[in-house]
Structure 1
Amino acid sequence: MSFIADQQTLEDLNLLGKYKQHSIFSLFNTVKTAGAEKLLMEMFRMPLTDPEAINRRSAIFRYFQSRQLPFPFSNEQFSAIDDYLSDSGGKYYLTVLLALGRKKLLGAVVRDEKYQNTRISLQQTIKLINDSKIFINELSNDNDHPFYDELLAAKKILNNPDLGELETWQNSGLSLMKMAKYEHLLKRKMQADLLLVIQTFYKLDLYISVANLAREKGFCYANAFPKEAGILKAAALRHPGIKRAVGNPVFFNHGNNMIFLTGANMAGKSTFMKALAINVYLAHMGFPVAADNMAFSVKDGIYTSINVPDNLNLGYSHFYAEVLRVKKVAEEVSSGKSLVVIFDELFKGTNVKDAYDATLAVTTAFSEYEECLFIISTHIIEAGEVLQERNNIQMLYLPTLMQNNIPAYTYQLQPGISGDRHGMMIIEKEGILELLR
C-alpha cells in the first residue's frame, strides 16, 4: 500500500514543487543531473511504508554521508550520453558502417553536420565511460554498505573486456571503421547495460547530494519500526527549512497518542505542527530528518488541516470547508488506517460557543483511535481544561514572555495549557485605536 498524503496536506506542508519558494523538495534538490532530479521527485511522491525498505535507504544515505564524496560529473555530461545511448543503432556492424558512410559523404558534399555531431557525441560518451570506470572502481573498494551490490553490477559492466579498447581510442584516432565498431558496441551490443549504469550514476548523484546536505544541516536518520510498535519519538525535532530553528522533544505511543496544543498567535504552534508532519513524511522516504534523533513506527499516511480555504465556486464558507475536512479525516481514521493527523485551530470559522462544543466533541472522539497520532491546536483553552482529564492526551503549550510590555517567544514546548491573552496588548502597542480616534 502506498503512503497517503493528499493535495491539501502537500500544500499545507509545502512539500513539492521545484520552483515553489521554500518547498521541502527545493531544499533537498541539490543534485547535479536531471536524471537524479527525476529520481528525487519520484521519492518525494512515493514515501515508503515498509520499515525494512526505509531503513535500507537511510543506511545508504548514512554510508555516503560518512564518505563525504563529491559527485564529479555534470548534468551536461550525462545528458549527452543519455541522449546518445537512447538512440538505437543498427542491428549489424555493416549496417552501422554504411549509415555512417552516408553521413560522412553528405558532410563532404552538402556540409551536412550529422557525421561531425555523431563523432562528437561518440567522443563525449567514450570519455564519460572511461571517467565513470575510474570513479566506480575506486568507490567499490569498500564492500560493507547497502549500495555495494548496485555498484558492483555497474563495475562489472564498465570493466567488460569489450569496453577495454575505449581506454586507448585517442591514441589511434577515430576512423570511420572505428566509429562504426564503437557505435555498434555501445548502441547495440551493450546499450541496455550502459543505460543501467547511467541509472546507477543518477542514484549516486542523489545519494551523495542528499547525504552531503544532511551533514551540512546537522540532520539525522530516523529508525523505522513496524506499525504494531506504535511509537514516534524524537529529540530536538525542528523545521528543516528554517535556519537556527528551535528544536522540541516529541513522544507518542498507543496510550499517549494526542497532543492538545495551545499558545498565543506567533508563539510557534503552526511551525511546530508542520515540523512534525514534514519530518514524519521525510522519515517515511528514508531521508534525513531535522532532529537530533528519531524513531517511528510506519504509518499509512498523513492528513493535515492547516490552511483550509473556502470555496466560493461551490458556495462553501470557511467553516463549512473546515467541517468537510474534518469529515474526510474522520472517514479515513474510522476505516482503520494508521495515520498522523494535524489540525491547526479547529473550527476557527464559527462562533466561540460552537467552536468550544465542536472542538471538545471532535477531539474526544478522535482520541479514542489509538492507532493514529494527533496534534490539535486551538485558542479554545476551556476545552483543554476538560480534556486534560483524559490520560492519553498530552497538554502542551508554547509560552509568551512579556518584556517591557513586548511579547517574546521561546518556541519551546511546556506542559500544561496556555493562559496567554495578549491580543489587546499587541493591538494597543501597534497604535490601532489611536489611529481610529
Structure 2
Amino acid sequence: MENISEIVSHFNFTQTRKSRQYLNLFFSQKSFNKNQTLYTQQKLKMFLENLHIIKDYRISENAVSVTHKLLGEADSYNYTFIRNLTYRNFFKEINNNLSIFIEFFHGFHAVLENFKQSEFCKDYCAEINETLKFIESLTVIDYHQKELNFKLRKTLLLIIKSEIGKKSFESFWDFFYMFDVHSSIAKGIALNDLVFPEFSDNQKFIIREFYHLDLTTSVKNTLTEREKNIMVFTGANMSGKSTAMKSVSIIVLLAHLGIAVPAESCKIPFYDRIFLHFSVTDNLKEGHSHFMQEIINIKNVLVELKTKNCFAVFDEIFSGTNINDSAKITGDTILGISRYTNSMFIFSTHLNMIENLLKDEKNITLLNLECLFENNDLLFTYRLQKGWSKLEVGKIIFDQYGLNDLLKDDHQC
C-alpha cells in the first residue's frame, strides 16, 4: 500500500511530532525478520499489560522542545556568578529550562520505574533499566521539587555537558521516542480489540472473520487456503473487492510488524518481503507511464522471489494497457508466478476472457464478492465466495442512471 496513512491512523496516539515520524518509519518496513517480529509482539504484549500506566502518562511537546533546546545550548563555562549579574534574562531562561528538564526526566523515570517488565523481553527490559540508570545519573531525582541554588544548577549543567560529550542523550532520545511509539500502538490494539496472529510452519493461510479497520461494523469474511498460493479476485466495481483485498493486506502487514490484527483469528506463513500495489499511477518523477510502472512493480517482485518468500498484491493488474495485451500478459504473469509455492499472491481483474485459463490450475483459487441482481436492483452482500463472478453490472448501472435515454435524447442545445 503506497499510502500507509489509513493504517497508521488507527495506531497514532503518539504525543510528540518526532514520535509520529518514528511511527511512520516503523510502518514503512517492507522487509521482515521472523525473530524480530515475534520479539515486537512480546514487547507490545508487555505494553498492553502496562496500559494503565501508559494511558495516564502525558508528554508535553513543550517540555521535549525545551529539553532539546537546553541540550543544544548547555554551556557550564559561561554559567558563572558574575555573568549572572550582567546577563539576567539569559540566566533566567537557563534556570527555567533546567526546571523543565528536571520535571521531564523525573516524570519519565517514574513511568519506567513502575513499568512491569516481562521475562520474554529481556533485551528490552535491559534497555529500560539502562535508561533508569542514565536518568538517575543526571541527579534529577534528587533535585526534583527542590529550590536549586546557583551551585546546584552549575553542577547539573556540568553533568549534562559531560553526558552530551558521551552521546548518551542520542541513545536516550531513540529509546524515548520508540517508547512512545510502542505505547501508541498498544493503545490502538486495545481500542480496536485486535488479536495477535500466529505464523504457520507450512503454507496454511487462514484468517477467520476478518474486517477492514475503517469498517468495524461491516460484513466479516473468512479465508481458508491450505495449499494454493494465488488468489484471484473478480467481480463488479462496488462489490467490495478492493476493500477485501486491502483488509487481507493490512492484516498480513500488521502481523509482520508484530502488531495484533482485525480478525477473530489469524494463522499465516511468514514472508520476508511484502509488496502491496493498489491504485498504481504514472511515475512522473521517473518518467514512467502507468503501464511501465506496473511492469516495474512485477519485475521488482520477481527479482526478490529468487531469494525470498514474498507476499504480493496487485489490484487491477495491467489496467494500463489495451484489453488484449492485458489479458495475455495477466494470464502469463499469474501462471508463471504460481510456481513460487512458498509465497502468496493476490490479484484482482475484470478480464473475464482469462477465466478458462486459470480455473483448473492447482495453485490458483478464484474468489469474488457476492453481487445479486433482483427485481432490477443490484444487491451487494460483501460476502466472499469461491468462483469467478459471472455478473456484469456495468451496463446495468449505465442504464439505471438513465445514460441511454440521455444519449438518445433528440433535444438540441
Output the TM-score relative to the length of structure 2: 0.85
3-state SS in 2 of match to 1:412: strand
2:63 maps to a residue whose letter is: Q
The one-character-per-residue Cα deviations of 1:10-33 (angstroms, maximum 9, x if unpaired) are 42xx215xxxxxx32344322002
Tell me which residue corresponds to 2:109: 133
> Following the alignment from structure 1 to structure 2, what is the Cα–Cα distance between the partners of residues 224 and 105?
67
> Following the alignment from structure 1 to structure 2, what is the Cα–Cα distance between the partners of residues 51 and 320?
33
Tell me which residue corresponds to 1:303: 275
Tell me which residue corresponds to 1:237: 210
1:182 maps to a residue whose letter is: L
* 1:312-331 map, 5 Å: 318-319=290-291, 321-331=293-303
**Percent identity over paired residues:** 24
Tell me which residue corresponds to 1:426: 397
Aligned equivalent of 2:242, options 260, 264, 270: 270
Tell me which residue corresponds to 1:156: 133
Would the aligned equivalents of 1:54 and 1:224 in 2 still touch at CA under 8 Å? no
Tell me which residue corresponds to 1:32: 15
Would the aligned equivalents of 2:50 and 2:115 in 1 still touch at CA under 8 Å? no
* 1:1-400 map, 5 Å: 10-11=1-2, 14-15=3-4, 23-47=6-30, 49-69=32-52, 70=55, 71-90=57-76, 95=77, 99-108=79-88, 113-140=89-116, 142-144=117-119, 146=121, 147-160=124-137, 162-167=139-144, 169=146, 173-188=147-162, 192-193=167-168, 196-224=171-199, 229-252=202-225, 255-310=227-282, 318-319=290-291, 321-333=293-305, 335-400=306-371
2:149 maps to a residue whose letter is: S
Would the aligned equivalents of 1:220 and 1:293 in 2 still touch at CA under 8 Å? yes
Would the aligned equivalents of 2:314 and 2:347 in 1 still touch at CA under 8 Å? yes
Deviation at residue 196 of structure 1 after TM alignment: 4.3
Deviation at residue 324 of structure 1 after TM alignment: 4.7
The one-character-per-residue Cα deviations of 1:284-311 (angstroms, maximum 9, x if unpaired) are 2222332222233332323344323346
3-state SS in 2 of match to 1:295: strand
3-state SS in 2 of match to 1:250: strand
**Comparing 335-344 with 81-90, which one deviates more in the overlay?**
81-90
> Following the alignment from structure 1 to structure 2, what is the Cα–Cα distance between the partners of residues 366 and 353?
20
> Following the alignment from structure 2 to structure 1, what is the Cα–Cα distance between the partners of residues 285 and 46?
51
| Change in 2 beyond 3 A, CA 1:317/1:72 | closer
**Pairwise CA RMSD of aligned residues?**
3.0
> Following the alignment from structure 1 to structure 2, what is the Cα–Cα distance between the partners of residues 161 and 371?
52
| Change in 2 beyond 3 A, CA 1:407/1:231 | same
| Change in 2 beyond 3 A, CA 1:357/1:88 | same
> Following the alignment from structure 1 to structure 2, what is the Cα–Cα distance between the partners of residues 28 and 161?
33
The one-character-per-residue Cα deviations of 1:73-114 (angstroms, maximum 9, x if unpaired) are 222222322332344544xxxx4xx53335413335xxxx21
> Following the alignment from structure 2 to structure 1, what is the Cα–Cα distance between the partners of residues 110 and 235?
57
Would the aligned equivalents of 1:48 and 1:54 in 2 still touch at CA under 8 Å? no
Deviation at residue 378 of structure 1 after TM alignment: 1.5
| Change in 2 beyond 3 A, CA 1:414/1:99 | same
2:36 maps to a residue whose letter is: A
Structure 1: which 5+ residue stretches go unaligned? Answer: 1-9, 17-22
2:379 maps to a residue whose letter is: A
Output the TM-score relative to the length of structure 1: 0.81
> Following the alignment from structure 2 to structure 1, what is the Cα–Cα distance between the partners of residues 261 and 97?
41
3-state SS in 2 of match to 1:411: strand
Would the aligned equivalents of 1:260 and 1:396 in 2 still touch at CA under 8 Å? yes
**Comparing 160-169 with 416-425, which one deviates more in the overlay?**
160-169
3-state SS in 2 of match to 1:28: coil
> Following the alignment from structure 1 to structure 2, what is the Cα–Cα distance between the partners of residues 183 and 314?
51
The one-character-per-residue Cα deviations of 1:311-359 (angstroms, maximum 9, x if unpaired) are 68988665555445444444443x3432212222333344544443333
Tell me which residue corresponds to 1:412: 383
**Comparing 424-433 with 126-135, which one deviates more in the overlay?**
126-135
1:178 maps to a residue whose letter is: L
| Change in 2 beyond 3 A, CA 1:42/1:344 | closer
Would the aligned equivalents of 1:238 and 1:275 in 2 still touch at CA under 8 Å? yes
3-state SS in 2 of match to 1:410: strand
Structure 2: which 5+ residue stretches go unaligned? Answer: none
- Aligned residue-pair number: 402
Deviation at residue 390 of structure 1 after TM alignment: 1.6
